[in-house]
Structure 1
Amino acid sequence: MASTLDLPTPLVSTEWLAQHLDHPNLRILDATVHLAPPNEAGQDWSQTSGRPDYLTAHIPSAAFADIIDDLSEPDGGWFTRPSPERFAAAAGRLGIGPDTAVVVYAANVFWATRVWWLLLANGFDNVAVLDGGFGKWTAEGRPTRTGEENYPPAQFVGTPRPGLFADLDEVKQVVENVSGACLINSLSPEEHHATETINYARPGRIPGSRNVFVAALLDPTDGTFRPVPELREIFQEVQAQPGRKVTYCGGGIAATGDALALRLIGETDVAVYDGSLREWTSDPSLPVEVG
């Protein structure tokens, strides 16, 4: 029987992955999705599977994790987290069992952090995101393969942790000062302070939100997360707020990047508002701050 493989979560380096690439208990997942905003009012964001990119080139042994069709709830909205039963079935098809370790990457790292967060929320801890992703892997001249690869099916085991996601009612309580928590908007400063938008039903942010732009968490030279001291400086205002930290964005994807960074700097009570601005701004009775 192969020895267990304990990951240095929540991030692993390309060097670490290269050294452990052939471990029989390792599951590598490519979670790439391509997203494009609307170019005029009334349109919706377009979403395209990254499977064609995966088939063209992927890290050896990696399987494709289909966020659009398998790791979201059908008819539940935009990339809504799947039910525990649906997630367990999809994870099992990806070969994720009790003795496995999972490393997730994507062309845009925040799809990888989304899968990382989904695994944590479903009670699976031995998972990490590839720091720098596929871009850093290929820039270093490391090997790739073409075509489809799959792991043997497994029985996924995990006890769901619903507290890792915040729902609409919880966010309402935060806004109404019923619940002591800090709301963090992961979108750009321009979107945070917007007075008009075609991206969502209404411009603006959830009242009381702090803004930590998720792209600012990455080193622009290689796409890796910034060192912990730099992340602490970026989140200084957030960490000065007591209590739970609830991240959001447009639809619960980029917000998982802020969630990972918060974990890196030692925050343990962190949640992602899955509905994010798509849900919040679509209800005209809910308040927004603009400008």
Structure 2
Amino acid sequence: MSTPVLPALVDVAWLRERLDDPSVVIVDATTHLPIPEEGPYVPESGAESYRAQHIPGAVFADLLTDFADAASAEPWTVPSSEQFASAASALGIGDGATVVVYDQLEGFWATRFWWHLRLEGFDAVTVLDGGLPAWKAAGAPVTDAESTLTPRVFSGKRRPELLRSTADVAAALDDPSTLLVNVLDEATYRGETTTYARQGHIPGSVNLPVFSIRDAETGDLRPVDELRREFEAAGLLDDGTTVVTYCGGGIAATGIAHALALVGRDDVAVYDGSMTAWANDPSLPLVTGAEPR
């Protein structure tokens, strides 16, 4: 495991002290995912929310367009490294920059961009604990003013070991050294909902709901020592084990990957297509109920 350039998580006080530092690039990665009463969900850009209010100096990363593969059947799919580098450079993300990512919601859009930057070989990135809600709760300023973009050269190199495709996951189903982690709620994991084309979970995967790692009242991550004990009990910190997280569409899965980085495990891979891709392929197996322990 590599040694991070800076902590994977910072608090409001840390960022307030650096608001005037030109090397710090603050990124709002907000995306909206309204859940309709009927029919599939339709994700929406967070650009309007960003324009209404954001941390002073923050730039907006559109995870639905600029940082996604438009040709993919699933939203948010990782684009080419060339597309990512171009979009990141335009926002001022690149050599010499320290990036602080936040969102205006549950924090998983921020961890998605954190993971995506690391996938593309950029380590100088951290997440603001609690995002914009924590920032505002602390009395820190927000603005609707347009931020100045200062392009930088992005020279990262992709780490393919942090990404998994459907074919990769299918090929590793019988690999005892690969631990698949489903981060959805227990009912969805067991197949008791109607969320996807087919219900259940990928065979052999354990369930660790991503919302369990956050304080229900504040939205902040729970104490790292508590998380470490839970991760150890689930076998996620075992030597020789490759951990692959997945969710519905590759977003919430990055929340567990980020939390694992906080306890020293920064080599977690994410299945990008997750259940959206897996359940849409009738040739792939699904399991309902709980996995035997």
Map of 1:63 onto structure 2? 59
1:222 aligns with 2:218: yes
SS in 2 for 1:239: coil
Aligned length in residues: 282
Aligned pair partner of 1:212 in 208, 215, 219: 208
SS in 2 for 1:46: coil
Aligned ranges 1:249-268 → 2 under 5 Å: 249-268=247-266
CA contact (8 A) 1:212 1:234 kept: no
- Displacement of 1:273 in angstroms is 0.2
| Cα gap change, 1:244 to 1:60, in 2 (>3 Å) | same
Aligned pair partner of 2:275 in 262, 270, 277: 277
CA distance, structure 2, for counterparts of residue 208 and residue 65 of structure 1: 35
CA contact (8 A) 2:55 2:143 kept: yes
SS in 2 for 1:172: helix
Q: Give the TM-score, by structure 1 length.
A: 0.93
CA contact (8 A) 2:257 2:266 kept: no
Map of 2:118 onto structure 1? 120
| Cα gap change, 1:46 to 1:237, in 2 (>3 Å) | same
CA distance, structure 2, for counterparts of residue 215 and residue 95 of structure 1: 31
Q: Give the TM-score, by structure 2 length.
A: 0.92
CA distance, structure 2, for counterparts of residue 162 and residue 24 of structure 1: 31
- Displacement of 1:48 in angstroms is 1.2
1:180 aligns with 2:192: no
Report the residue type matching 2:65 in the other structure.
Answer: D
Query: What is the aligned-residue RMSD (CA, Å)?
Result: 1.5
CA contact (8 A) 1:7 1:128 kept: no
Map of 2:188 onto structure 1? 191
CA distance, structure 1, for counterparts of residue 61 and residue 94 of structure 2: 15
Report the residue type matching 2:76 in the other structure.
Answer: F
CA contact (8 A) 2:187 2:193 kept: no
Report the residue type matching 1:46 in the other structure.
Answer: V
Q: How big is each residue's C-alpha offset from its partner over 1:133-162, in whole Å with a ceiling of 9 and x where there is no partner? A: 100000111111113313211211101111
Percent identity over paired residues:
45
| Cα gap change, 1:8 to 1:219, in 2 (>3 Å) | farther
CA contact (8 A) 1:62 1:149 kept: yes
Per mean C-alpha deviation after superposition, the further-off stretch among 128-137 and 150-159 is 150-159
CA distance, structure 1, for counterparts of residue 52 and residue 266 of structure 2: 38
- Displacement of 1:7 in angstroms is 6.1
CA distance, structure 1, for counterparts of residue 5 and residue 37 of structure 2: 41
SS in 1 for 2:121: coil
1:286 aligns with 2:284: yes
- Displacement of 1:240 in angstroms is 6.4
1:96 aligns with 2:93: yes
- Displacement of 1:36 in angstroms is 2.0
